[in-house]
Amino acid sequence: MDRAIFDRMAELDQTHWWYTARRQILSAFIAREIRPPAGARILEIGCATGHNVPMLRRFGTVDAVEMDGESRVTASKRLGIDVRDASLPELVGVPEHHYDLVALLDVIEHVGDDRAALAAIARRLRPGGRILLTVPAHQWMWSGHDVLNHHHRRYSRKALVALVRDSGLKLDRIGYFNSILFPLAVAARMARKLTGKEGKDDALPPAPVNRLFAALFGAEAYLLGRVPLPPGLSLVAVVSAT
């Protein structure tokens, strides 16, 4: 991603409704659907500014890797750990057969060879280990936001299922999330296309709006994995080695 994207993330990741509610949702989902063992070894690949790591630490000891140098420095200072430099699919220096959970949160859409990347990640799992994977959904939602973030693709549910299976992995669960606000997101993205303001969707909204969106999106913490959610902006999958 562009340097400006990482800098903006560092400014907003503790306050913007998307980040705060998403962590709430994923924390509840991990506790309910994955249930890592006590003392789990966890790896986050593509940790960016490190904003997900404190959430993941609720479930075990967390290692983190990030390819962008300045973001590695930011994350290391925030977290008090050595965030390592490793890119997909190589993952040089990341031990194999070591982790109970690997978190890949809106990362694999940045990788050219997503199949090779997933296969490489699977080799880092201990027996019984799992991958938590989130990706942006719906190729028809492609916009300037994806271009600025250096995405290679967005995923349909069918495409994500095929990717997992073609990588020689087992799909344990898949579903949409960020569904409650999806109609509003579609309308907003279409409006930006018409007005030539694509990609300008990361500003912190006024506090009342930010709280409202956080509450609406955060409500999915109680729903995801319990009931099938309608199409949303994102897909989540739980994957294990066969």
pLDDT tens by residue, 160-199: 999 999 999 999 999 999 999 999 999 988 887 777 766 5
Residues 193, 170: Cα–Cα separation, whole Å: 38
Vertex 164: Cα angle to 67 and 240 (nearest 5): 85
pLDDT at 242: 77
pLDDT at 201: 62
To which H or E segment does residue 69 belong? Answer: helix 69-79
Token pair 């630490």 is found at 57
What does the DSSP 8-state code read for residue 229? P
Tell me: pLDDT of 1 over 60.
Answer: no
pLDDT at 144: 85
**Higher per-residue confidence, 1 vs 4:** 4
* pLDDT tier at 60, thresholds 50, 70, 90: very high
pLDDT at 200: 58
Tell me: pLDDT of 57 over 80.
Answer: yes
pLDDT at 2: 60
Instruction: Specify the fold of 3-241.
Output: Rossmann fold (3.40.50)
pLDDT at 112: 95
The contacts of residue 168 (CB under 8 Å, 6+ apart) are 119, 122, 242
Tell me: pLDDT of 220 over 80.
Answer: yes
pLDDT at 148: 87
Mean pLDDT of 38-42: 97
Closest among 17, 20, 69, 63 to 44, alpha carbons compared: 63
CA 220 from chain center: how many Å? 16
Residues 152, 13: Cα–Cα separation, whole Å: 23
pLDDT at 231: 97
Percent of the chain scored above 90 by pLDDT?
A: 82
Beta bridge partners of 101: 42, 130
Mean pLDDT of 1-8: 68
pLDDT at 198: 65
pTM of the model: 0.93
The contacts of residue 189 (CB under 8 Å, 6+ apart) are 141, 143, 145, 198, 201
pLDDT at 11: 84
Percent of the chain scored above 70 by pLDDT?
A: 96
- In the chain, domain spans: 3-241
